[in-house]
Amino acid sequence: MTVEADFIELEEGGERIMRFSGRLTIARIGDVPQRLSELPYSPARIDISNVERVDTVGAWVVHKLARDHGAQIVGASDHADRLLRQVSIADDPAKSFDEDEGRLHRIIARIGASTLEALSGLKGLLAFFGGLLIATASVIRHPGRMRFNAVVQRFETVGVSALGIIGLMSFLIGIVIAQQGAVQLRQFGAEVFTINLIGRITTRELGVLMTAIMVAGRSGSAFAAQIGSMKLAEEVDAMRTIGVPPMQALVLPRVLATTLLMPLLGFYSTFLMIVGGGLLCWIGLGIPPETFILRLREVVPMTDLWVGLIKAPVFGMIIGLTGCYQGMQVRGNNEEVGNRTTTAVVQAIFLVIVLDAFFAVFFSSVGWG
């Protein structure tokens, strides 16, 4: 006797009989279900007395055949009989899978859904900002509610631990700017203007902007993931019921940390970019450090530094805000934490760059160009 499931058809007393053999189990069922679905005739009886072994899948296949053709099942062993009864109880005709819509319909629906989502995301962010302001106001009125420990802890994770990577990045970017600038300016014999380039672009733009991108990637994502996981584990709900507003306990310390630390990190980054640029000028162009510093003081107006440092806290707030906001939006499953973390970083960097453009226009129109 073969072990693979199989069936043959017989005629007996004018009735069509289907006789199964082998093992009617998921491992051995092979192409039997397919062949059964293409059956050209209707059996009156199904004989399973030759079946070696049967499991729920086999029982289901037999049950379905009997149901679809109104056939009678004969020769079932005790065990098979129990299984058949079990699967017939479990036979629920209700639709259990969503039907597929047309492809065009799906594409349009998806475009619509993501547009709505983007709009409601921005609106939600604005509402979240409002909520944060209210929380801030209440903390100002009751300074006892300020969670200094939480803020200081965030200072460490957002600021101190980031010093190494931001420093290294800034130093290298300084070298790259100086090197690329020198190559271009050499064509005009204006190598000395490399110092103008380094001094102005780092203080006005790159120092703060690169730091913002780094902080968004390091801390904005961490905020979203931390708060998101807390949401999933109902920790945020638990906080609310205990009477600790999550806005005050979770969001405010984080946003405060990024807002206050961005100017410091931005300044630090600018400084190291200049150091990197200066080093390249010294080694590559033969400009000694004293000359570099002297020249820097001549060409970089103080307003350039202000331009950079005024932008920094705004960027910091945006990063902290989007991180916490996306974290608070997590609901449902773990994949959502990942999606929201990604969104937090993308949204933060996008908003920072958009705002940077506005700042550039603004500062040049007030004469700080």
Partner 1 sequence: MSDEPIISIRGLRNSFGDNVVHENLDLDVRQGEILGVVGGSGTGKSVLLRSIIGLQEPDTGEISIFGERIDCATAEENLDLRRRWGVLFQNGALFSTLTVAENVQVPLREFYKNIDEDLLCEIATFKIVMSGLKAEDAPKYPSELSGGMRKRAALARSLALDPLLLFLDEPTAGLDPIGAAAFDNLILELKEALGLTIFLITHDLDTLHTICDRVAVLADRKVIACAPIEELLALDHPWIQEYFNGPRGRAALAAG
Q: Residue 54 in 3-state DSSP?
A: strand
Place of tokens 């106001």: 137
| Distance of alpha carbon 5 from alpha carbon 52, whole angstroms | 9
Q: Which is nearer to partner 1, 56 or 291 (CB)?
A: 56
242 near partner 1 (CB under 8 A) = no
Q: Which is nearer to partner 1, 7 or 171 (CB)?
A: 7
Q: Which is nearer to partner 1, 77 or 184 (CB)?
A: 77
The amino acid at residue 267 is F
Which one of residues 13, 14, 243, 332 is an interface residue with partner 1 (CB under 8 A)?
A: 332
89 near partner 1 (CB under 8 A) = yes
Which one of residues 11, 13, 70, 96 is an interface residue with partner 1 (CB under 8 A)?
A: 96
Shortest Å, Cβ 205 to partner 1: 41
User: DSSP characters for 279-308?
Assistant: HHHHHHH---HHHHHHHHHHHS-HHHHHHH
Q: Which is nearer to partner 1, 110 or 331 (CB)?
A: 331
| Distance of alpha carbon 50 from alpha carbon 23, whole angstroms | 9
Which residues 35-64 are close enough to bind partner 1 by CB under 8 A?
37, 55-57, 60-61, 64
Count of residues of this chain found to bind partner 1 when the rule CB under 8 A is applied? 34
Shortest Å, Cβ 3 to partner 1: 15
Element (H, E) at 146: none
User: DSSP characters for 97-134?
Assistant: SPPPPPHHHHHHHHHHHHHHHHHHHHHHHHHHHHHHHH
| Distance of alpha carbon 169 from alpha carbon 286, whole angstroms | 24
| Distance of alpha carbon 174 from alpha carbon 269, whole angstroms | 10
Shortest Å, Cβ 333 to partner 1: 3
Shortest Å, Cβ 328 to partner 1: 17
Which stretches of the chain bind partner 1, using CB under 8 A? Answer: 25-27, 29, 33-34, 37, 55-57, 60-61, 64, 79, 82-83, 85-87, 89-98, 331-335
